[in-house]
């Protein structure tokens, strides 16, 4: 079984201790994660600090070319990365699985490589010229989750590198191997120390967030962990980008066509087996369409194959870890106990792997865990409503505010409802379709700052006003 190493200062660094990485489909060990020490973290931050001295003054053209070279390296090793990702994360190779994720990482890298932040002229008059320039911040600490580990690593690393920063990334201990391999590939085209990777448990992540050599932390994950990172960053007033948990609501308006929207609703909720921050997690359906939407969604879900991600016939895979599996199970049972009607799924079978069946629960409302909290798994509550004002109020009655959606044939009406949802992104007749040219981030307790596009690139810079 391969024991992976850290990547510090352009070279692989062995550790004395390792932890097993488990295939969630079989329970088998698929690799061994190096356990970094505080000494290793200090070395990684030191290597990134040394590299920043030269990388921060490289030309815009050099940074653009470097990011394009990273894209080429990802493309050349796409199959290798996809297989490693499936082994540790569980998502299927096909469909919206591992190959899709590697393709997304490639697309984001290529798009970000082409972005630029030119000098802005604020004033040019006889009284003087005023320019706004953007400068790199320093060493960026990246902490990534287990659900989309390769793509989110690129979301963090590429804009940081593109703007002249250096990086120390700490991936989730549940899915570290594909990120280690990604950083190894980056180091074949970047100067030593520009991107480094350390792995381990939550203690290393906390130490990274608090490290005095880190100038900015970018984190994707739960709101609870985001609070801890924010507290750890306070002593040094680090800049932060936090993309935190969501409990996205979707509202089906009375004029929607249940059969036409069933596929979009399903994938909005169940992409990556529901393990996506901006997945549809609460569905509000008007009383006049309620039974039809329940029937069409159930029929669509019934045809989706669930299985081992290495099997090309599988369309969705297991829940990545047992703790999340148990949360989904508990939330569904709580909904059932409170009168929820399970339309499909809800009863996992015995056997190896964390396979929780695709589950739809009707006749629930606020006051049960499946509605009030983020399930982050393959179970969707369907809530009946009588008028649109009620649906909007209930959709907004949650501390999360990442995404939301509205479904209906009258686009002007749908847009009016969408504008009243308290969330950072809102979609009409689809859900969760993020793209690299559109800023993405949360409001309320779903985060601070944005990612993607020029606005996301700015998050990795400081402003310097130059008076000439």
169 membership: H or E segment, kind and range = strand 166-170
Looking at the structure, tell me whether residues 199 and 221 fall in a common domain: yes
CA distances from 424 to 274, 388, 404, 445 (A): 19, 20, 8, 11
Looking at the structure, tell me whether residues 128 and 35 fall in a common domain: yes
User: b/e per residue, 138-168, with b = 16+ CB within 10 A?
Assistant: bbbbbbbbbbbbbbbbbbbbbbbbbbbbbbb
Query: End-to-end distance of the chain based on CA atoms, in angstroms?
Result: 61
Q: What is the mean pLDDT of residues 84-95?
A: 97
Query: Is the sign of the CA dihedral 9, 10, 15, 18 positive or negative?
Result: positive
If DSSP codes are grouped into helix, strand and coil, which group holds residue 451?
A: strand
* Residue 349's CATH number: 3.40.309.10
- For residue 34, the model assigns a pLDDT of 98
* Residue 438 is assigned to a structural domain of this protein: no
| Domains identified in the chain, total number | 2
What does the pLDDT look like over 32-72, one tens digit per residue? 999 999 999 999 999 999 999 999 999 999 999 999 999 99
For residue 52, give its domain range: 6-244+443-467
Active-site position among 154, 277, 368, 423? 277
* Residue 222 is assigned to a structural domain of this protein: yes
Query: Alpha carbon 228 to chain centroid distance?
Result: 18
- For residue 349, the model assigns a pLDDT of 82
Identify the bridge partners of residue 197 per DSSP, sorted by sequence position: 7, 169
Looking at the structure, tell me whether residues 205 and 170 fall in a common domain: yes
* Residue 114 is assigned to a structural domain of this protein: yes
Looking at the structure, tell me whether residues 164 and 260 fall in a common domain: no
Looking at the structure, tell me whether residues 135 and 47 fall in a common domain: yes
- Give the helix ranges, DSSP H, for 59-201: 60-76, 78-89, 98-114, 149-162, 177-186
Looking at the structure, tell me whether residues 218 and 258 fall in a common domain: no
- For residue 279, the model assigns a pLDDT of 98
* Residue 412 is assigned to a structural domain of this protein: yes
Looking at the structure, tell me whether residues 281 and 320 fall in a common domain: yes
| 390 is an active site residue | no
CA distance 301 to 267: 10
Confidence of residue 351 (pLDDT cuts 50, 70, 90): confident
- For residue 294, the model assigns a pLDDT of 98
* Residue 437 is assigned to a structural domain of this protein: no
Looking at the structure, tell me whether residues 182 and 292 fall in a common domain: no
Looking at the structure, tell me whether residues 372 and 449 fall in a common domain: no
- The residue that leads in pLDDT, 126 or 350, is 126
Q: What is the mean pLDDT of residues 96-123?
A: 97
Tell me: pLDDT of 1 over 90: no
Q: Rounding to the nearest 10 degrees, give the CA dihedral for residues 380, 385, 388, 393.
A: -70
If DSSP codes are grouped into helix, strand and coil, which group holds residue 39?
A: helix
- For residue 177, the model assigns a pLDDT of 98
Token pair recorded at residue 14: 């062995």
316 phi/psi in degrees, rounded to 5: -130, 155
Looking at the structure, tell me whether residues 184 and 310 fall in a common domain: no
What does the pLDDT look like over 382-417, one tens digit per residue? 999 999 999 999 999 999 999 999 999 999 999 999
Q: How many other C-beta atoms lie within 10 A of the C-beta of residue 51? A: 23
* Residue 288 is assigned to a structural domain of this protein: yes
What does the pLDDT look like over 132-158, one tens digit per residue? 999 999 999 999 999 999 999 999 999
CA distances from 302 to 183, 296, 344 (A): 39, 10, 8
Q: How many other C-beta atoms lie within 10 A of the C-beta of residue 120? A: 12
Token pair recorded at residue 32: 């061994």
Active-site position among 88, 101, 243, 451? 243
What does the pLDDT look like over 237-283, one tens digit per residue? 999 999 999 999 999 999 999 999 999 999 999 999 999 999 999 99
Q: What is the mean pLDDT of residues 165-190?
A: 98
Tell me: pLDDT of 228 over 90: yes
100: Cβ–Cβ under 8 A, 6 or more apart, which residues? none
- Give the helix ranges, DSSP H, for 163-282: 177-186, 202-210, 223-233, 258-270
- For residue 464, the model assigns a pLDDT of 97
CA distance 137 to 146: 27
Looking at the structure, tell me whether residues 290 and 225 fall in a common domain: no
* Residue 39's CATH number: 3.40.605.10
Looking at the structure, tell me whether residues 90 and 217 fall in a common domain: yes
| 368 is an active site residue | no
49 membership: H or E segment, kind and range = helix 38-55
Average pLDDT value for the chain: 97
Closest C-alpha among 387, 102, 151 to residue 278: 151
Indicate the pTM of the whole model: 0.97
Quote the crossing angle between the two packed helices 177-186 and 60-76, to the nearest 10°. Answer: 130
* Residue 54 is assigned to a structural domain of this protein: yes
- For residue 336, the model assigns a pLDDT of 98
- For residue 202, the model assigns a pLDDT of 87
- For residue 262, the model assigns a pLDDT of 98
* Residue 152 is assigned to a structural domain of this protein: yes
Closest C-alpha among 10, 99, 7, 100 to residue 54: 10
């Amino acid at each position: 079984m391969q024991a992976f190493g850290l990547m510090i200062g352009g070279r692989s660094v062995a550790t004395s201790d390792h932890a097993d990485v488990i295939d969630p489909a079989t329970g088998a060990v698929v690799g061994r994660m190096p356990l970094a020490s505080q000494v290793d973290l200090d070395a990684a931050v030191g290597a990134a600090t040394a590299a920043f001295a030269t990388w921060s003054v490289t030309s815009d053209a050099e940074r653009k070319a470097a990011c394009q070279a990273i894209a080429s390296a990802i493309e050349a090793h796409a199959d290798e990365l996809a297989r490693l990702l499936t082994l540790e994360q569980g998502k299927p190779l096909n469909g919206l699985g591992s190959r899709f994720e590697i393709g997304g990482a490639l697309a984001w890298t290529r798009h970000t490589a082409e972005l630029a932040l030119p000098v802005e002229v604020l004033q040019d008059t006889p009284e003087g010229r005023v320019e706004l320039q953007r400068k790199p911040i320093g060493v960026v600490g990246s902490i990534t989750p287990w659900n989309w580990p390769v793509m989110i690593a690129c979301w963090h690393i590429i804009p940081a590198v593109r703007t002249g920063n250096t990086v120390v990334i700490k991936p989730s201990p549940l899915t570290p191997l594909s990120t280690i391999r990604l950083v190894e590939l980056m180091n074949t085209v970047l100067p030593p120390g520009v991107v480094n990777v350390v792995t381990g448990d939550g203690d290393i992540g906390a130490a990274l967030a608090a490290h005095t050599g880190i100038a900015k932390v970018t984190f994707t994950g739960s709101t609870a962990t985001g609070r801890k990172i924010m507290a750890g960053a306070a002593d040094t007033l680090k800049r932060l980008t936090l993309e935190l948990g969501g409990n996205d609501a979707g509202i089906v308006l009375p004029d929607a066509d249940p059969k036409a929207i069933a596929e979009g609703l399903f994938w909005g909720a169940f992409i990556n087996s529901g393990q996506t921050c901006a997945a549809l997690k609460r569905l509000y359906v008007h009383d006049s369409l309620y039974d039809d939407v329940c029937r069409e969604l159930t029929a669509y879900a019934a045809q989706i194959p669930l299985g081992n991600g290495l099997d090309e016939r599988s369309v969705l895979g297991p829940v990545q870890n047992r703790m999340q599996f148990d949360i989904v199970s508990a939330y569904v049972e709580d909904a059932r106990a409170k009168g929820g009607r399970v339309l499909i799924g809800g009863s996992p079978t015995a056997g190896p792997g964390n396979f929780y069946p695709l589950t739809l629960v009707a006749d629930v409302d606020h006051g049960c865990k499946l509605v009030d909290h983020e399930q982050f798994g393959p179970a969707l509550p369907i809530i009946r409503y009588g008028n649109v004002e009620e649906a909007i109020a209930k959709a907004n009655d949650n501390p999360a505010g990442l995404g939301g959606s509205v479904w209906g044939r009258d686009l002007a009406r749908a847009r009016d409802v969408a504008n009243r949802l308290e969330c950072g992104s809102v979609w009409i007749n689809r859900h969760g379709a993020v793209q690299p040219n559109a800023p993405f981030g949360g409001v309320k307790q779903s985060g601070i700052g944005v990612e993607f596009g020029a606005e996301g690139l700015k998050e990795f810079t400081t402003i310097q006003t130059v008076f000439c």
